[in-house]
Structure 1
Amino acid sequence: MAEIYPLLREAVTAGQKSIQVQIFPFRMSVAKMLEHEGNPNSQFWKNLKVGYDSFELSRKPPLVGSCGGRYVFASATGTELPNNPLGDCPGGASKSISEVAANGSLDGERSPQINGNPQAPGAHAYSDGSMNPYFRRILEQKGAAKLAEMTSLTNVPVSRPQAALFEPHLAAPMTD
């Protein structure tokens, strides 16, 4: 973040209205994905890898949507993506890891080893910390709808409010 923040500050100072940032847990090569295969977040990371591979191939940020409790990606401008993490996904909402690999992924033929079921990532909790205290208070005091209104330009709902309140280091919901 120390490297990114000055760039963001300069862009905002220069008048840029919004900045798209993708942050991944690590370089998502096949070797790294296999190295972290036993991690409780691996199903979620497989879902992120679809967007990661799309960027690595095109060098353009993919369009990102959400449905069915997962992210969906598209590389074509004008492609309409679902934007409801709680809603059902329409058919063909996102490429799978295998489809990205078939279209020239940097990972080549080893992608099926990590493919599993990228369309249905499992539940996960962030073990590197908990929810931002400011957002936690809003969620606890004003509810998921208010948090979504305050943090999303398109009012995307908070997909799992109880999971967001889970404190992984205490193994119980935090009450502040």
Structure 2
Amino acid sequence: MVSVRRGIAAVAVSGLLAGCAVQEADIKSYRALAPLGADTLALMDAKHTTKAAPVLIRAYKKEAELEVWKQAADGRFVLLKTYPMCRWSGQLGPKVREGDRQTPEGFYTVTQGSMNPNSAYYLSFGIGFPNAYDRAWGRTGNAIMVHGICSSAGCFSMTDPQIQEIYATVREALAAGQHAIQVQSFPFRMTAENLARHRLDPNMAFWRELKHGADHFEVTRREVPVGVCGKHYVFASPKPGDKLDATAACPPLEEDRSVEPQVVGRETRDLSDVAALVAQGTKPIQLVYQDGGQNPVFAGRFPDVSRPEALEAGPREVVMTGPPAAVAKRPGLR
């Protein structure tokens, strides 16, 4: 970011020497076109990837972290960098309606048309909410972004230096021919501990559906094939001649026989670990936020953060009682 600031300063000095003020449009153009830093390019090289290689993004609300993954030479994705998130808003759980301040959860897509170099929030790009799943459930909202400035009303808010780097990473992949960048947004990291602690949360059926997609990525380290039918996410393809309809019953699906057993095995192990944690006395809880959260590294560092009073106490743990939340039967072959 230091190089970016020096570049902007140089533009400003040049403009003054020419007898005219630098226009805001010039600064925004520089932000959007600023090259990736040498450190980032060196990191890509160390990970056996390049700035032109495809990108994938994963976000975790409870941990307030956003990961940028890059496709390596062997076709599998490698973790390039984990960015602490400056702000997200709402509660754990999906976005349901316009104005609910919920940061979405699910599988989304960034395209060239999603990029916003003229953002009021330094730089930004949309994640494609609502997607087919959201529309099938009648969910409303728009302009859900990953952006700069530590303020959120449903978006993933990063610092300005972070969004500068993330934006450039996404821009380079799109410019090199990646048609769409997958964004995987989760309530938390899908660990056995998190699943055990949140086992009675009313969103658990939905979260287990997301976990199945997350497990596909963990097993293959390749972009997850995502579809929607019967108002469910599916991670398989319809048979030739069939097609997926987000609200209609799912047709017979063809799952990858080389991958699915590994995914099922991972799920089985995780459920066994959850059962062990429950047997050891792990209490079921629900986290209640005043309005979202931020990564602890940013606590108190941004005086202009949105709704700072909502962040002061952190989330409140409410111990839950009652029968386990219903687990939706996953459409498909099993």
Give the TM-score of the pair, scaled to structure 1.
0.50
Tell me the TM-score normalised to structure 2 length. 0.29
Which structure dedicates a bigger proportion of its chain to helix? 1
Report which of the two structures shows the higher radius of gyration computed on alpha carbons.
Answer: 2
More strand by share: 2
